[in-house]
Amino acid sequence: MAEKQIIYSNITNVNFGLHDFQIGFGIKKNRSVKAPPGPEDIDCLILMSPQQAKAFSLALTRAVAIYEDVFGEINLKQNDEALKKYSLENENADVIIEE
């Protein structure tokens, strides 16, 4: 049996056409916090049918709901104050704060 590859991802990119969905996973290589991910950031591309994409979406939604029941709400808000402090303390930091 082939060894499974484990990939960590902190960005995703989703595209779709009539017959399939393409979900890209990767690690953001451009350290600018507000910069959108680019093609160079995508390390793995998963292709699936629209039906499988919907089933995956439902399974992921259920898993996130259970996670939040156990550990609390996942916060997606950016902490601009912490980023400002970080960029002031680290002169080489590539942090972009939109005001």
pLDDT of residue 29: 81
Q: Tokens representing 62?
A: 């259920």
DSSP 5: P
pLDDT of residue 66: 98
Query: Most confidently modeled of 38-52, 54-68, 84-98?
Result: 54-68
DSSP 44: E
CB within 8 Å of 30: residues ≥ 6 apart: 37, 38, 40, 41, 94
pLDDT of residue 87: 60
Q: Tokens representing 82?
A: 């912490």
- Selected residue with higher pLDDT from 91 and 4: 4
C-alpha to C-alpha distances, 87 to 1, 28, 38, 64, 97, nearest whole angstrom: 47, 18, 23, 31, 10
pTM recorded for the entire structure: 0.68
- Selected residue with higher pLDDT from 46 and 80: 46
Helix%, strand%, coil% for the chain, nearest 5? 35, 20, 45
pLDDT at 33 exceeding the cut of 70: no
**How much is the mean pLDDT over the chain?**
82
Mean pLDDT, rounded, for 36-50:
88
C-beta separation of 10 from 28 below 8 A: yes
